[in-house]
Structure 1
């Protein structure tokens, strides 16, 4: 499950490595409209598109979605969080980032985001895009410049409301979890990632990478997913 400002192609490198090991890999779309919409959508996808044991993997905001989905659809046996939010009940994206030192948790959000309305939006809601400068300096700073521009120009927005919707009961209380912490992550600072992962009892690995470690250092996510798969009876 991809996160904000991304799509399933952000997992291409990891997916290719897993397919090379004989795993079936699916990259469902994340609607990025809020967990009360996004989690039921993923649960429906899992119920209809998967058979047998599932390792459910989430990046960034995708971690919120998988946390609220894993016990609602499909035979999910393990969770893997890659540079991801791992919320407890009542947490929001903004509350988890508050005081963290995140490059996107700033007093004036218009310095890092471009905000645009969208048809049918609830009152006060809007789409949020990363400014190109934010992509280059804080989101994907360890990727080649051409790749950073592709991210900046092809990003899928997340809504403001998705960042303020409280998370529900967390699946990690009953499903084993793994977490990959990017030590150069400027979106979800590594200390924040570690704190969430420790709270969830996740098996933690670290990699010297930006927020998009699954692109710049895909072997870290690949290894964590293999470990999760190996744990399934």
Structure 2
């Protein structure tokens, strides 16, 4: 494994179009082939189509948690999909994502945050279009492992029954929410209090039963993986993330970040996703 990553404040290029009246036709002739060889037409530097990046959110979040990463990836010419994660259980959520992935043409880079790591690890199994897995402050479960067991395997997690509110839902399901007063300290400790408050208020619950549902055969056994580890993560201890990443043979990037590193460091997370995408073209 190796650590990688660029500065969070790196500039992102913006294209500028120049038109010269007397030479428009000549410029068009020269520019079109060059654009086709570069990323201007959704192609990578290797002359192959860029993969679609599919981003999967975790528990106590929704697709908007990826907004900064989506912005950067789209600017760089990637097609990005952010399907909803139902947060009802490992098997059902994974089946939904697997069905969604079957509609995505061409190569895919599949990215999961937190509990989303369970979902991508199961949903990608057997899908030949998924060329890379990227985990962001996420679980990389082996077969039979559960979210609760992995969280407790190493000390340091602040997620536990006392940190959660349990709300009965339809069909006998009990939803689990992070208590708003504890949300920032557990999940968003490197974000401003106002932003953490917004995230706490808009969090989506996970079915409590999902926390003890075992994982199936993991796709990381056969698909190359990358992992962003937040060393200031108070939800999933960095030691647990490191253990899982090493077991999976993932390429590791460590950030001084909370459990929500894709919000606090979107450029750095984007760099890792694009590194994975570039490797799919080799």
- Specify if TM > 0.5: yes
Alignment correspondent of 1:120:
171
2:202 paired with 1:154: yes
Moved more, 137-146 or 184-193: 137-146
Q: Encode CA deviations 1:68-93: one digit per residue, 9 max, x unaligned.
A: 01124571100000000000000000
Paired residues, what number?
A: 225
Query: Per-residue deviation at 1:220?
Result: 2.1
TM superposition shift of 1:46: 1.0
TM-score by length of 2: 0.78
Residue 37 of structure 1 corresponds to 92
Contact 1:43 1:74 in 2 (8 A): no
Larger radius of gyration: 2
- Kindly state the Cα deviation for residue 145 of structure 1 after the two structures are TM-superposed: 1.4
- The aligned residue for residue 60 of structure 1 is 114
Matched-pair contact (CA < 8 Å) for 1:44–1:73: no
- The answer for the alignment partner of 1:84 in structure 2 is 138
- Does residue 71 (structure 1) correspond to residue 125 (structure 2)? The answer is yes
Q: Distance in 2 between matches of 1:75 and 1:198?
A: 24
Residues 43 and 72 in structure 1, CA contact (< 8 A), matched pair in contact too:
no
CA contact (8 A) 2:121 2:218 kept: yes
> Could you list the runs of 4 or more consecutive aligned residues of structure 1 that deviate by over 2 angstroms after TM superposition?
71-74
Once residues 218 and 32 of structure 1 are traced to their aligned partners in structure 2, the CA distance between those partners, rounded to angstroms, is 23
| Structure 2: gaps of 5 or more residues | 1-55
Q: Is 2:181 the partner of 1:144?
A: no
Structure 1 length-normalised TM: 0.94
Match of residue 96, structure 1, among 134, 150, 159: 150
Kept after mapping to 1: 8 A contact 2:153/2:240: no
Counterpart-to-counterpart distance in 2, 1:87 and 1:94: 11
Separation in 2, partners of 1:209, 1:5: 18
**Pairwise CA RMSD of aligned residues?**
1.1
Question: Within 1, Cα distance between the matches of 2:158 and 2:126?
Answer: 33
Aligned partners of 2:148 and 2:212 also within 8 Å = yes
1:228 aligns with 2:276: yes
Please name the residue that 2:36 is paired with: none
